[in-house]
Amino acid sequence: LAKTTQPISMDSYEGQEVNITCSHNNIATNDYITWYQQFPSQGPRFIIQGYKTKVTNEVASLFIPADRKSSTLSLPRVSLSDTAVYYCLVPQDSNYQLIWGAGTKLIIKP
């Protein structure tokens, strides 16, 4: 089964770019990598999803190298409101289930 590994926590400051890297050594050939954000006492929220190279949306960018064994979520110019837990997910073999790792607790300081 595919498994994800992320740093448990990260700190940064307002206005900085934050990069969170996730390793997923056993990702299947056709599977996408998905990132979610979760604030305390709320359900997770989809941020971005990608298969290879680079994906960008209005919130973040996702960089995936050619071997797809890792991915990096990039948050440009973070603010205090970006303080949250960020989860990197890949599907399990049985299709509809996503593997939830421990997530990265990101704390943004003023």
Partner 1 sequence: DAMVIQNPRYQVTQFGKPVTLSCSQTLNHNVMYWYQQKSSQAPKLLFHYYDKDFNNEADTPDNFQSRRPNTSFCFLDIRSPGLGDAAMYLCATSRARNEQFFGPGTRLTVL
Q: How far is the CB of 97 from partner 1 (least distance, A)?
A: 6
16 binds partner 1 (CB under 8 A): no
Residues 37-66 that bind partner 1 (CB under 8 A): 41-46, 49
Q: For residues 45 and 106, give the distance between their C-alpha atoms in angstroms, rounded to a whole number.
A: 15
Specify the 3-state DSSP secondary structure of 2: coil
14 vs 22, beta carbon nearer partner 1 = 22
| Rg, the chain, Cα only | 13
91 binds partner 1 (CB under 8 A): yes
The closest alpha carbon to 107, from 68, 80, 75, belongs to 80
Q: How far is the CB of 76 from partner 1 (least distance, A)?
A: 21
Exactly one of 1, 80, 98, 107 binds partner 1 (CB under 8 A); that residue is 98
9 binds partner 1 (CB under 8 A): no
Output the DSSP codes for 41-86. TS--EEEEEESSEEEE-SS-EEEE-TT-SEEEEEESS--GGG-EEE
34 binds partner 1 (CB under 8 A): yes
Positions in the binding site for partner 1 (CB under 8 A) = 32, 34, 41-46, 49, 87, 91, 94-98, 100-103
